[in-house]
Amino acid sequence: MRNRRGISLIGSTLAALTLATGLAACSGQGASTPGSDTPQAASATALDPVLAAPQVGDVYAAELTHFSGVDFAGTDNGEAAFGLMRVIAVDDERVTLNTENSAWPKARGAINELRGDQADITWDEAEKIEIYRRELPQLVADGHILEARRM
């Protein structure tokens, strides 16, 4: 009987530890919570090398309606429009971009266009969009910049 009691005591202890671990996980202790990313956390995330060191001529697939004041066809109701943005100037603090003149209703259209030859792209040279370089990680984390390509 002595062995049974010892095993029973070990079993009770393991059950208590399992319960305590489960409760700690449920209360968020020792675990990261989704959606708790701060700008500092986004900055710590490794950026695509093209975004980390922007150069004139780089092209980004992005949610154009986040950056541009232009109403793209089909975005009258606050819908997002996706397309390309081209880097036209870079300094220590900012990246200046142009958008293309057309857009896609889905992000996949902009990504496919970025990966293509871009021969038919017409750029809106009149609109100049400035982004602070320190904002790039958060813009990627928020899904406003989807991909980047160095031409």
Q: Where are the domains of the chain?
A: 1-31, 39-149
Mean pLDDT score, 26-40 = 38
- Does the pLDDT value for residue 55 go beyond 70? yes
Residue 145's region, left for phi above 0, alpha for psi from -120 to 50, else beta, is beta
* Cα–Cα distance for residue pair 97/83, rounded to 1 Å: 13
Q: How far is CA 132 from the centre of its chain?
A: 16
> What is the torsion angle, in degrees rounded to the nearest 10, for the CA atoms of residue 106, residue 103, residue 47 and residue 39?
-80
Residue 43, H or E segment: helix 39-44
At 75 the pLDDT is 54
Q: Which residues pair with 123 in a beta bridge?
A: 100
Angle at 138 between CA 28 and CA 100, to 5 degrees: 145
pLDDT in tens, 97-135: 999 998 999 999 999 999 999 989 999 999 999 999 999
- Does the pLDDT value for residue 25 go beyond 90? no
Please provide the average confidence, as pLDDT, over all residues in the chain: 76
- Does the pLDDT value for residue 41 go beyond 50? no
Q: Which of 25-29, 78-82, 144-148 has the lowest mean pLDDT?
A: 25-29
Class of residue 103 by CB neighbours under 10 A (exposed 0-12, middle 13-18, buried 19+): buried
pTM (2 d.p.): 0.68
